[in-house]
Chain A
Amino acid sequence: MHYLFQISLRNLLRQKRRNILLGVAIAFGTMVLILASAFSHGISEVLFNEIVVYVSGHVSINFSDNGNQFAQVFHDGPRVLDIVKKEVPEMRNVQESMGVMARAIGNGKSDNVIMIGIDLKSGDEKDLQDAEKNFRMIVGDFYDLGDSTIENPVVLSEQKAKYLNVKKGDIIRVRYKMINGQDQASRLTVVGIFKPANIFMSAPVFLEIHDIKNIAGYGPNDIGTLFISLKNPKKDAIKIANKLQKKLQPSLAGIYGDLSFKEVSAQSTILGTKSDTASRNFLARTITFTDSTIKVTRDAVFISDSLANVLHVTTGDQIQIDFKPKYPDQKGFGLVKITGIFSPNKTVPSNVVLVNELDFYKVFYSAWPMNFMENKASFVPDTTNALYKTFSPEWNLLSRVKTTEQMTKQMREVGSKRIRGTSVSVQSMYESASAVLNLEVALHLITFVAVMILFFIILIGVINTLRMTIRERTREIGTIRAIGMQKGDVKMTFVLETFFLGLFSAVTGTILAFVAMKIMSMIKIDSGDNPIGMLLSNGHLHFAPTAVSVAGYIILIVFIAVSTAYFPARRASNKSSAEALRHYE
């Protein structure tokens, strides 16, 4: 075997010019293949880590208060954050995503803007650096966003600053809707102007997330949409989304507190009841009213006859609810108007008030109550209770969707306000950012097709050259066969020669590819407003070669070269020595 290696290597050197040309062609093909692959992977990395992360997160938990898509708030924020931190060890970080549409007025100019929140406090050093990387400040300091001595500091792109005619230190007045739906006006102080790193950053204005939460009316325990960044999004996004879906199942919502009317008070459990027609009809059939004319309407509030006697209330009276909230900085309070009195039974005992879900959630979410199930005096319906499914849950967990179309349909459904309370949905990037992911697939496909076309052109040249080599050496084959070399060895000589040629060329091509990547990634590209800018990382081409793909491409190229050499080599070796010696061109 050793001598076959020697012969093969010596043969490589016999026809230097041809082999060098062939080697250059293979090396060039390898270089293009690796470059294209690294560029394609680089785009994926940019899309996944710099675009998807900010557009939708690899996994997101979305909230919608009472069907209002603009009220993206959840009132028991620390609980959800705890679930995420505990259940998703695969995550890189979790951040609140906050975007508020506003009308902005600068110096004599006005425009629509989106106010976006940036979290400068909860991330680590790397998160901050990642955030800062996207803001190439022309004027001002990015970290001034966190300066609490300035009134609502804001940074904006140079295009937006020019449009609004503002400079550093100027005030922008904004009008927007708070999460409770009220119109609000605020003043923002321009602390910096930046050159946008991509097209998505030109339109919005950026505030520190706590400032934006404050002006939009979020309470200290309220959170907005959560974006979760994963270390390995492609592998884990769907798995994590499904896992979170299971962990975010709501319990039954209930309040244990004091009911009072005038000077009298009594303790009671307050439960919400669903407002859809089926639930209302079922409730009407299940409980007995003291007055048979009572109807279960959408604004129904029912109190037991014994509680009504204690409080001296009747239909039409407004009772006050006071309860202990989960978070001490709040005050649990609400008012409801009684619309009917029922006779208690096993399903709904005497210390219960049933409140239509619209009014119930208003009280429940105003100050998240202590878990009523932990109070021994409280009535806690179990799953065998006939009305269990009629009682309102803490929130409405929407089912997982698989496609963007399903997601859009679901959002429309929520927007129609048929869903009361807070809707919670868990989405992976495959549903929420499918447009970006489709772009990635399309770019991969285009790159792959272009490279393959180029590569096959080169391959045809390689095959042709090999065939010429073998034909030229036919008489030589006859000679070595005549002096006793076996068929297999003849074939192996050609195969090994091609193998070494392919291997050396592929390795050279790989080295060249890395050199080219280094040079190209050093070039600064000013894409301006061109959408292509979103494929750049901080104004540079981003290449991300992987060891597996580089090794894979070298093996592929060597394999293809050897395969193309194998058949002419076999044909040559199958010739009898006499026939080969007679060969003449």
Chain B
Amino acid sequence: MNNNFGGIMLRTLVVILTMSVCSVYAYPKIDSILTHIDNKYSLVTDVKSRVDLTQQKVNQGAKKLQMTYYRRDSDKSFLIIMDAPENEKGNGYLRMGDNFWMYRKNTRTFQHINRDESIGGSDAKGDDFEDRKLMEKYKPAVDGSGNEIITDDTLGKIEVYKFEVAAKVNDVDYPKKIYWVRKDNYTVLKEAAYSQSGTLMQSAYYLKFTTIKGRDIAVKMLFVDEFEKGNKSVVEISGISIDKLDNDIFTKAYLENLSK
């Protein structure tokens, strides 16, 4: 009987160990996924593109913004020039290192603003246009047993990993996020952002991609306001150019001259 009991125990132990090993190795580490995403989306070249932002708000109709966006990550610079609507045309936003200015065409003045300032009166903010690595902002969230929170899921017919991250710095909009990334290439397809109180605040859907120099770049995104139902924004990126940008572009003078 003792031998039998010992055998059962041994088999049970083997099963548990096997399951544990399987569960540990079934999923990739969240850190490695985040690093992969960071590498995937970081720009090795300069970029210029057109951005169309359509913002739908409850009882307010749609607001359409069109802008030209220049970005150079080597010195953390970007420039946004508003092309539409008419009342915003010629206005701009210039980020150079730690400085962030808003240019008003009417008064021909530059004003220092914060990263979280609205762009063209929309819900888009200055820091949405920055290149900031996920790994700098988030770390894997763990459950009560200390295991990373990651599971299998499907979006439509696509197999994805669904995983949760928690903020490791304070200066992020949301302290908790859940990502859905493709299993085959870690492309982010969906993300859900939660407040500290656990309320789902925003969902983002990455709808279309284009490949530039072997990197998948999202060119159509849908942001759904989960707090105030009915509010949503669609961002479409077109005319992407990765040619090296002239140094003069990231200057106040360039922005002023464009608006003349």
Residues of A within 8 A of B (CB): 67-68, 103, 105, 110, 173, 175, 177-178, 180-186, 217, 298, 412, 415-418
Contacts and interface: CB of A to CB of B under 8 A. Distances in A.
11 contacts: A105-B227, A105-B228, A110-B58, A175-B201, A181-B171, A182-B174, A182-B175, A185-B227, A415-B112, A416-B99, A416-B113
B196 A182 contact: yes
Contacts of A173: 227
Contacts of B199: 185
A418 B193 CA distance: 30
B116 interface: yes
Given A105-B227, A110-B58, A173-B227, A182 B170 contact: yes
A374 B189 CA distance: 55
Contact of A178 (B58, B113, B196, B201): B196
A180 B239 CA distance: 37
A129 to B, nearest CB: 35
B170 A180 contact: yes
Contacts of A180: 170-171
Contacts of B113: 415-416
B152 interface: no
Contact of B228 (A175, A177, A178, A217): A175
B227 A415 contact: no
A151 to B, nearest CB: 11
Contact of A103 (B116, B170, B173, B227): B227
B197 interface: yes
Nearest to A69: B114
B86 interface: no
Nearest to A105: B228
A416 B112 contact: yes
Given A181-B172, A298-B98, A415-B113, 9 more contacts: A68-B114, A175-B227, A175-B228, A182-B174, A412-B111, A412-B112, A416-B112, A416-B113, A417-B112
Interface of B: 58, 98-99, 111-114, 116, 167, 170-175, 193, 195-197, 199, 201, 227-228
Nearest to B97: A298
A390 B32 CA distance: 40
Contact of B173 (A182, A217, A417): A182
Given A298-B98, A415-B113, A416-B112, A181 B170 contact: yes
B175 to A, nearest CB: 6
Nearest to A176: B195
Contacts of B116: 177, 181
Nearest to A104: B228
A504 to B, nearest CB: 64
B201 A183 contact: yes
Contacts of B175: 182
B227 A181 contact: no
Nearest to A103: B228
Nearest to B59: A110
A348 to B, nearest CB: 25
A178 B199 CA distance: 14
Contacts of B228: 103, 105, 110, 175
Most B-side CB within 10 Å, residue of A103, A173, A184, A298: A184
A185 B197 contact: yes
A258 to B, nearest CB: 22
B197 A186 contact: yes
Nearest to A275: B98
Nearest to A358: B98
Given A110-B58, A175-B228, A183 B114 contact: no
A261 B113 CA distance: 38
B195 A183 contact: yes
A105 B171 CA distance: 26
Contacts of A298: 98
Nearest to A417: B114
A68 B199 CA distance: 25
A47 to B, nearest CB: 32
Contacts of A184: 195-197
Contacts of A412: 111-112
A466 B172 CA distance: 82
A417 B98 contact: yes
A181 B98 contact: no
Contacts of A175: 195, 201, 227-228
A222 to B, nearest CB: 14
Nearest to A175: B227
A185 B112 contact: no
A507 B167 CA distance: 75
A183 B112 contact: no
A410 to B, nearest CB: 13
B198 to A, nearest CB: 9
Contacts of B193: 183
A418 B195 CA distance: 29
Contacts of B167: 182
A185 B259 CA distance: 40
Contacts of B197: 184-186
Contacts of A177: 116
A67 B170 CA distance: 15
Nearest to A187: B197
Which 10 pairs from chain A and chain B are nearest by CB?
A: A416-B112, A185-B199, A180-B170, A184-B195, A185-B195, A175-B227, A183-B173, A181-B171, A183-B201, A184-B196
Nearest to A416: B112
Contacts of A186: 197
Contacts of B99: 416
A186 B173 CA distance: 15
Contacts of A418: 112
Contacts of B171: 180-181
Contacts of B114: 67-68, 415, 417
A175 B227 CA distance: 8
A431 to B, nearest CB: 21
A184 B199 CA distance: 8
Nearest to A186: B197
A110 B229 CA distance: 10
Contacts of B227: 103, 105, 173, 175, 185
Contacts of B170: 180-182
A437 B149 CA distance: 58
A573 B21 CA distance: 124
A68 B171 CA distance: 11
B98 A183 contact: no
Contacts of A217: 196
Contacts of A183: 173-174, 193, 195, 201
A175 B171 CA distance: 17
B117 to A, nearest CB: 9
Contacts of B172: 181-182
Most A-side CB within 10 Å, residue of B170, B174, B175: B170
A329 to B, nearest CB: 19
Nearest to A335: B168
A185 B116 CA distance: 18
Contacts of A68: 114
A178 B171 CA distance: 10
